[in-house]
Chain A
Amino acid sequence: MADKLLKREDLGKLIGSVVGGGGVFVAPTIDARQVVFKPVTKAEEIVTDYIVARNSYKEYVFPQTEVVADYTIGKDGVDLRSRKVEPKETVIFGARPCEASSLSALRAVFTWDFIDEFYTKREDKTTVISVGCTKADEACFCTTVALSPETKTGSDIYLLETESGDYLAEAVTDKGRAFIKKHASVFGAAGGEKAKKLFIPEKIKGIDPGKVAEKLSDKGHYEDPVWAELTRKCIGCGACTFVCPTCHCFDITDEGTAFEGERRKNWDACQFDTFTLHASGHNPRDLQYKRWRNRFNCKFSFYPNKFSSKGCVGCGRCIRVCPVRLDITEVMEELSK
């Protein structure tokens, strides 16, 4: 129940109290002519008229690059010292309901066989406040993957914009409830304010997620010429995976002088041709369509089967950003046949 009201004019106060308490307030703002999630300190920086930010907010729980250890190479061997992660309280404001589902997908991977504290500790300190969408573009396809602007799962607090530009708030999780309690002075009682109408995108005709899953469960699909036909144009960049809220692959690299340096965890992309290159020179995914096929399987087979989580939330970021307009929904459509 949306029983609280966050007034637009109180947003600055909320930011102030989060930032004042040593936290980070991340929200959609304009940077280099794009709407992006970035830390803000003033309410005026926040954009409200947007569809989805270009980047996903995953970089605040899973940074693009971070030091995980320091090393020194001495006469007696290597001294490797793990870094401790002590994250700040982080608020993600203005997430979209589709992408709110992504953190549970990331968590599933980062806690699967090993608890990656660099991720879990950050996520534990992160509160996701999403805002229901009042518009969409043609890349949005949340409803095709069984999500929608009305989806609350994944958000800690779910907001609806009111006609007058304020927000009706509903705490979805304990974390959300605690957040509202902590900031009680800005979350007043709601009293009959009218929410703007949500825009629910139409499901894409011709896509049957069940059929897609069924096709993928049969290993024979690997040899289907459709993969090469539809994805030959892929140039193998990292754009789609880097903007994707659920892509999580990383690479460990050492940086420094010959005798000391930092061990870093950097984003990696299964679309790079070196991603599966073996030291022997053999590459099991030697052509781009095989790399693309992997990404698609990761989204629609590996994630759902292994983690029962969503691999793709239908945010459409990969479609918008792709230099060759390779549209994941066109592949879904083909596999629904």
Chain B
Amino acid sequence: MENTLRQKAKELLASGEVKVVIGWGWNRTRTRTTPVFITKSEETDRLVWNPLCVNNLSVYLTRKFKDVQALGKPAIVARGCDIKNIVVLISEGQVKRENVYIIGMVCNGVVYRQELWEGELKPEIMPTKCHNCDVRNPHLTDSVIGGKSSFVPPEAPAGMVFDKIKAIDARDASGKWSFWINEFSRCVKCYACRQVCSLCYCERCITEKNMPQWIETSAHPRGNLSWNLTRAMHLVGRCTFCGECERACPVNIPLNLVNQKMILVVKDAFDYRSGYDEKVHPPMIVFNPEDKENFIK
């Protein structure tokens, strides 16, 4: 697959169809992958494809990266789960479909964090998203690399994230509160969760609006709670559970629990799942007379 990918990238650059290929490459010691921007057709051998390719590169398609945009039309190497984010970016008018070439990778899963890699992709080092993945055959592409995957996700979603959500749901209100206050207390306000998320594309995040200061920037319990809740609310119905925010969080806050819980709530309330159809708008930005109103009590 790696060779086909390199060949495809070479063609695209040589023909001038795209100006840059955004993909994964090795670090110096070939122990970790890292995002690479290939602009010359003779450099496409730097591209790699393996279970260490964890970054969701769609973040580089957003307007936060003016210098990447300045390089010209991109081709992006993307797994199905990355493509979900691209779909949301298209449906929200952030990316024009014709302005990006999507090289879709048929995928068998990745490691949750690169430091867990010991040479073999075992189920226990894969994130919950991979165990339930219904986009191993990428769904919105200009070309597909790899033979068809026959993986069928389990009927009822399973895995660590779902188990933990069940356990938290079973707690009473004060139990839930203390769980989250404790988790958020570690937040250092590094904003890696926001920066790594392709759906956090605002150029001025609400935390940076300081006249007045809507969200306290201090990393004390009150400031951390308002930051994490506000960010969660801004991702409702949009987040695709790509898991980048949790992977990036340096203090191990289980953000995937928040992400998946929101997805379950939106599925239940609006029968909507983000990231599948670029022609449908997310429920929080459309009004539908059929929307449930049972939350008004």
Contacts and interface: CB of A to CB of B under 8 A. Distances in A.
B248 A239 contact: yes
A190 interface: no
B195 interface: yes
Interface stretch (A79-87, A112-120, A293-301, A322-330): A322-330
Contact of A326 (B34, B59, B191, B252): B34
Interface stretch (A1-9, A31-39, A211-219): A31-39
Contacts of A136: none
A249 B195 CA distance: 20
Interface size class of A (residues with CB under 8 A): 35 or more
Contacts of B28: 327, 329-330, 333
Residue in A272, A274, A325, A329 whose Cβ sees the most chain B Cβ within 10 Å: A325
B188 interface: yes
Contact of A323 (B31, B186, B248, B252): B248
A12 interface: no
Interface string B79-91: 0000000000000
B33 interface: yes
B32 interface: yes
Interface in B174-232: 183, 186, 188-192, 194-196, 208, 210, 213, 216-220, 223
B190 A238 contact: yes
Nearest to B203: A273
Residue in A267, A324, A329 whose Cβ sees the most chain B Cβ within 10 Å: A324
B67 A228 contact: yes
Nearest to B36: A233
A236 B195 contact: yes
A13 interface: no
A34 B210 CA distance: 33
24 contacts: A32-B183, A32-B186, A64-B188, A65-B220, A228-B67, A235-B59, A236-B64, A237-B248, A242-B190, A243-B250, A253-B213, A253-B217, A266-B217, A272-B191, A286-B66, A287-B66, A323-B244, A323-B247, A323-B248, A324-B34, A324-B35, A325-B27, A325-B33, A333-B28
B189 A238 contact: yes
Contacts of B248: 237, 239, 323
A76 interface: no
B212 to A, nearest CB: 9
Nearest to A287: B67
A269 B196 CA distance: 16
A25 interface: no
A31 B253 CA distance: 11
Contact of A235 (B31, B67, B196): B196
Given A235-B64, A253-B217, A324-B55, 12 more contacts: A233-B34, A237-B192, A237-B196, A238-B189, A238-B191, A242-B190, A286-B66, A288-B65, A323-B248, A325-B27, A325-B33, A333-B28
Given A288-B67, A325-B27, A330-B28, A235 B219 contact: no
B213 A238 contact: no
Contacts of B34: 233, 324-327
Interface residues of B, number: 46
A169 to B, nearest CB: 32
Contacts of B55: 323-324
Nearest to B210: A253
A33 B219 CA distance: 21
B251 interface: yes
Interface of B: 27-29, 31-37, 55, 59-60, 64-68, 114-115, 183, 186, 188-192, 194-196, 208, 210, 213, 216-220, 223, 244, 247-248, 250-253
B218 A65 contact: yes
Nearest to A238: B190
A125 interface: no
Nearest to A265: B218
Contacts of A237: 190-192, 194-196, 248
Given A233-B37, A237-B248, A239-B250, A253 B218 contact: yes
A274 B195 contact: no
Nearest to B204: A274
Interface string A226-259: 0011001101111100110000000101110000
A54 interface: yes
A204 B216 CA distance: 42
A232 B68 contact: yes
Interface string A279-314: 000000011110000000000000000000000000
Nearest to A274: B208
A242 B188 contact: yes
Given A287-B66, A325-B32, A326-B34, A235 B192 contact: yes
Contacts of B31: 138
Given A266-B218, A323-B55, A54 B35 contact: no
A122 interface: no
Residue in B32, B195, B213, B220 whose Cβ sees the most chain A Cβ within 10 Å: B195
A321 B220 CA distance: 22
B201 to A, nearest CB: 12
Nearest to A33: B252
A235 B195 contact: yes
B196 A34 contact: no
Contacts of A64: 188-189, 219
B254 to A, nearest CB: 9
Residue in A32, A269, A329 whose Cβ sees the most chain B Cβ within 10 Å: A32
